[in-house]
Structure 1
Amino acid sequence: MDINQIHEILPHRFPFLLVDRVIEYKGGEYAVEIKNVTINDNFFPGHFPERPIMHGVLMVQAMAQVGGLVMLQPEVGGSRDNFFFAGNDKVRFRKPVIAKMEGKAYAGGDLGCEGEFLLVSATE
């Protein structure tokens, strides 16, 4: 999926759209995303000036958005109107990472962040 297809599915926009491209997708099961992170991103000057690190909450949000891309597909009955990020369990920030998603984020080959994400239907 390119950014145009992502815009058709997710309601998020800059600066809170944290998915730039989906490189692998299996309907209703999983997606692997790319978030291009550069030193020019607006969060680095404050987190932290001497050691730029993508904030953990943003990593979690990026992974939740990819979960949204999976769950908001017609083949699983999803739509923008009935799914919202509701929480997460077992999230651990192990080291600074550039997020790469399948429910886990890696820095190189090392596991940096992982978690279980929940979406809740607004119609229930």
Structure 2
Amino acid sequence: MVSSMASATAFFSNSILSTSSSRNAVSFLSSSLSSSSSSSSLSQDPNGRTQLKIKKNSGSFPICCSLDAAKDPIAEQTPIELRYAAYPTVMDINQIRDILPHRFPFLLVDRVIEYTPGVSAVAIKNVTINDNFFPGHFPERPIMPGVLMVEAMAQVGGLVMLQPEVGGSRDNFFFAGIDKVRFRKPVIAGDTLVMRMTLIKLQKRFGIAKMEGKAYVGSDVVCEGEFLMATGSE
């Protein structure tokens, strides 16, 4: 029985690399296991990650797998450190600290990767289990609080508006309101939160800036909304 499971698992791993459909491999593994005393099923963990659970007489263990298209065999030959492009650095943490007044533990922007003063900015927040909000939110299922995602996006909006050429000042820039906010998916430790903030409308006379924001993990939108910023002159 153990050798049968090992063979099925090995076939599953090889199929992921060579076939055009991961679902075929999952189907094969499921049928192979059904011929033994083991059974399997597909499910999602609380954070939406797909798992294949294999159940034996003595218990069960999960195999995490993707149901997306199979991996490219040629790409698999590329060293892991070269396989994924690194985010560019348009503005590092020291430059961010020169613009934003926030400090630990409330500075929620790590790097700016795209920037047009007074127009838009794209920045990242590396979410780690060492972030101080995880012990209480929640102990058994740590996810990033939605209100902190909104705050991080507002800070990216501050980077758009606080540059001297735009006429902003860190002494008189405030987060004034939010509208149409939606939280699409949970953000967990290990994720990279990519936030884009775009200026929609600026009323200099009244010191009001309206911005549109979206936050992503990979290609998934995890949070979006409209932001109202209050500005002024020194």
TM-score (norm 2): 0.51
CA contact (8 A) 1:44 1:52 kept: yes
Is 1:109 aligned with 2:219?
Answer: yes
Alignment of 1:37-48 (within 5 A): 37-48=127-138
Q: Give the greater-gyration-radius structure (CA).
A: 2
SS of residue in 2 equivalent to 1:15: coil
Q: Which ranges of structure 1 fall in alignment gaps of 5 or more residues?
A: none
Query: Which structure: greater helix fraction?
Result: 2
Is 1:78 aligned with 2:144?
Answer: no
CA distance in 2, matches of 1:122, 1:87: 16
Deviates more, 1:33-42 or 1:114-123: 114-123
TM-score (norm 1): 0.93
Is 1:20 aligned with 2:110?
Answer: yes
| Identical aligned residues as a percent | 81
Deviation at 1:108, TM superposition (A): 2.1
SS of residue in 1 equivalent to 2:157: helix
Q: CA RMSD, aligned part only?
A: 1.2
Q: 4+ residue runs of structure 1 moved beyond 2 angstroms? A: none
1:96 is aligned to: 186
Alignment of 1:23-38 (within 5 A): 23-38=113-128
Higher RCO, 1 vs 2 (CA within 8 Å, ≥6 residues apart): 1
Q: Which ranges of structure 2 fall in alignment gaps of 5 or more residues?
A: 1-90, 197-212
SS of residue in 2 equivalent to 1:59: helix
